[in-house]
Amino acid sequence: MEKITRRQLLLRTALTGSASLFGSLLGARPANADSNPLLPDSPNPQTYTYFTQPEIAFLSAALARLIPTDDLGPGAHESGGVYFIDQQMASPFGRAERWYMQGPWKDGTKEQGYQLKLTPAQLYRIGIRAVDANCRSRFSGKTFAQLGTADQDQVLHDLDDGKLNLDEDAPGKDFFDMLWQNTHEGYFADPMYGGNRNFAGWKLIGFPGPRYNYVDDIGKFGKRYRQPTVGLSGRNGNIRKG
């Protein structure tokens, strides 16, 4: 069987958005696999808009397992993924302001898209609380963030496989699908939105960013592109204000 690198897996994720790669990504072991960082180094926790500290602890641990840090570079947690999701939940997306949310709410097919009565922000709040409650009952009072990485992986696999029933209004599979989608969105979105800090995701897959002009390089086939990575806000990828 052909060996697939983490870079190839994430490139396929960026192109397809497929959650089917989740199992392979969990097989990677982060550099700090024996510790579970509960809070990101930056931005400062006080700058979070929507999530509470226990919710930040859950997301920090979950993102560290979904796209781990390894010898190829920072993972989703270290590159600001929690902050990215927090800002999305505090935005019109998190409030589902542009979605039809009046019901009826019935089980739909995958092709029909999101079918829950909860907004994305509500789904996170209920989902995280339910996962931590499940973990406390399974693991001697420990929350998800307090578990070892092997147990965290098992909980995430159970969510992905639909084996963990969380709440009548927030099925575990739907919660995981939203979490996984937003995790890789944050890892590959322009840094101005808060994730992909220092262009971690783009550097991993070799994307130099949306430079305004590539005319001088179009005909240089097979030659290494040496210009620095840029984002919509320039080379430092500043977070968007306002």
Terminal Cα distance for the chain, rounded: 49
Of residues 5 and 206, more confidently modeled: 206
Opening angle at CA 183, ends 124 and 177, nearest 5: 55
Identify the helix (H) or strand (E) that includes residue 26.
helix 22-26
Closest CA to 81 of 52, 39, 118, 126: 39
What tokens does 53 get? 């500290």
Looking at residue 10, its pLDDT comes to 63
Could you give the dihedral angle defined by the CA atoms of residues 216, 217, 221 and 224, in that order, rounded to the nearest 10 degrees? Answer: 140
pLDDT surpassing 70 at residue 107: yes
Looking at residue 2, its pLDDT comes to 45
Confidence tier at 24 by pLDDT (50, 70, 90)? very low
Amino acid at 77: H
Q: What is the mean pLDDT of residues 74-95?
A: 95
DSSP state of 182: H
Average pLDDT, the chain: 82
* Whole-number percent of the chain with pLDDT over 70: 78
* Whole-number percent of the chain with pLDDT over 90: 52
Q: What is the mean pLDDT of residues 164-171?
A: 81
Identify each DSSP E strand in the chain by its residue range.
Answer: none
* Positive or negative: CA dihedral 94, 86, 153, 170: negative
Q: What is the mean pLDDT of residues 91-110?
A: 85
Looking at residue 13, its pLDDT comes to 59
Closest CA to 84 of 67, 98, 97: 67
